Amino acid sequence: MSIAFLDGHYLPLEEARISPMDRGFLFGDGIYEVVPSYAGKMVGFAPHIARMQNGLDAIGIKLDWSEQHWADLCKRLIDENGAGNLGLYLHVSRGADNKRFHGFPEAVTPTVFAFAFDIAPAPVADIALARPYKVSSTQDLRWDRCHIKSTALLGNVLHFQQGYEKGHGETILFNADNELTEASACNVFIVKDNKVITPVLDNQLLPGITRHIVLDVLRRDGTISIEERTVTMDEVRSADEVWITSSSKEIAPVVQIDDIPVGDGAVGPMWLAAQTLYSAGKHDY
Ligand code: PDD
């Protein structure tokens, strides 16, 4: 049985209850994080918490929790849930009011909810063991604040579903100018002529922690050149390799977009190089 945290208490997940007046429920008015943990060791804990604090500040939710407070919560969830391959879901909503009013209520206490869920074992840097993805692509129809990790995910959900209904594992997104933004729940990288290229951070995409770690381990290694810049749809379609990154997937190779092979349609050597560096370096973050 999974043990969750809700408003100061640890309890079985099935027993956790919130008010239907919670603004997270009524408006998607909240911020969340997903932190991966393997055998009791979290990856990217500090940057995940920093990003959550940025999100809370950006939408004016006042929650006075230190990084240590979050660390204690995560540690307890890991211990209570078997310390295997876990995703730690952390969620703060603005709280429950007694009326439905769009403006921020004066005196509500934020709702803090967290639970742990099983994730796949971390990817192994081995072409034969890679988990390749087939994805769809479509125009990004979400809002203009995709850098905020908001719990209001309907736009992402609808985009994910577009690909899922075609048997695809993700949907990659292009803005109205046919520039790559990200995927419904991942960041996207392309490889061309041994160069690793990913969209520059702006309001159109989430500043992914995995994206950050990938760029950092590549920079530390120094042998592979990197560009953070605008990436066009044509560049994606003619890339040698495409990767999607997220906390639970790490670096996942994409071998087909809209049923057209990426490069030669096989998992590429640059994926192997990047995942090798990621696997070796991720616990430094
Ligand atoms: N998704 N972009 C979007 C829209 C995301 O939702 C995510 C993460 C990412 C990758 O971010 P990170 O590397 O920090 O996990 C990019 C999480 C895992 C989710 O919603 O479940």
Residue located nearest, by CA, to atom 5 of ligand 1: 185
Q: Residue 22 half-sphere exposure, CB side, CA atoms within 13 Å?
A: 20
Distances (CA, A) of 180 to 160, 204, 232, 244: 16, 9, 6, 12
Which protein residues touch ligand 1 with a CB less than 6 Å away? Answer: 34, 156, 182, 185-187, 206, 208-211, 245-248
Neighbours of 26 (CB within 10 A): 17
Nearest to 44 by CA among 169, 215, 198: 215
Of 62, 75, 149, 249, the catalytic one is 149
Q: 179 CA to middle of ligand 1, Å?
A: 19
pLDDT in tens, 101-119: 999 999 899 999 999 999 9
Listing DSSP states for 14-29 in one string gives GG----TTBHHHHH--
149 flagged as catalytic = yes
Q: Write the residue with the smallest CA distance to atom 4 of ligand 1.
A: 185
Domain boundaries, the chain: 3-118, 127-284
For residues 250 and 282, the answer to whether their CB atoms sit within 8 Å is: yes
- Residue 220 pLDDT grade (very low, low, confident, very high; cuts 50, 70, 90): very high
- Nearest residue (CA) to ligand 1, atom 16: 186
Contact 97, 21 (CB under 8 A): yes
C-alpha 58 – ligand 1 centre gap (Å): 18
- Strand residues in the chain grouped as ranges (E): 3-6, 9-12, 30-38, 41-42, 85-93, 111-118, 133-139, 170-174, 180-183, 187-192, 195-198, 226-228, 241-246, 250-257, 260-261
> 127-284 architecture in CATH?
Alpha-Beta Barrel (3.20)
Of 146, 247, 249, best ligand 1 pocket probe by most atoms within 8 Å of the beta carbon? 247
Residue 98 CA to ligand 1 center (angstroms) comes to 32
Atom of ligand 1 nearest to the CA of 211: 13
Q: Is the pLDDT of residue 1 over 80?
A: no
**pLDDT of residue 247 exceeding 90:** yes
Does the pLDDT value for residue 97 go beyond 90? yes
Q: For residues 217 and 88, is the Cβ–Cβ distance under 8 A?
A: no
For residue 128, CA distances in Å to 124, 125, 263, 267, 268 come to 9, 9, 18, 9, 11
Please tell me the predicted confidence (pLDDT) of residue 161. Answer: 98
Please give the distance, rounded to the nearest whole angstrom, from the Cα atom of residue 36 to the centre of ligand 1. Answer: 11
What is the per-residue pLDDT across 230-242, written as a single tens digit (0 to 9) for each?
999 999 999 999 9
Whole-number pLDDT of residue 47: 98
Q: Ligand 1 pocket: which of 186, 213, 282 to mutate (most atoms <8 Å of CB)?
A: 186
CATH 3.30.470.10 at 3-118, yes or no: yes
**Closest C-alpha among 169, 122, 119, 159 to residue 139:** 159
Stretch 138-155: mean pLDDT: 98
Percent of the chain with pLDDT over 90: 99
What pLDDT is recorded for position 243? 99
Amino acid at 23: R
Which atom of ligand 1 is nearest the CA belonging to 182? 2
Closest CA to 95 of 114, 80, 108: 108
Its pTM stands at: 0.97
Question: 103 and 139 in contact (C-beta within 8 Å)?
Answer: no
For residue 89, give the ligand 1 atom closest to its CA: 21
Average pLDDT of the chain is 98
Measured in Å, residue 99 CA sits from the centre of ligand 1 at 32
Instruction: Write the pLDDT tens digit of every residue in 3-44.
Output: 999 999 999 999 999 999 999 999 999 999 999 999 999 999
Residue 96 pLDDT class (50, 70, 90 cuts): very high
Tell how far the Cα of 235 is from the centroid of ligand 1, in angstroms.
23
- Tell me the mean pLDDT in the region 193-206: 98
70-89 residue pLDDT tens: 999 999 999 999 999 999 99
pLDDT given at position 114? 98
> What pLDDT is recorded for position 222?
98
Quote the CA–CA distance of 250 and 255 in Å, as a whole number: 16
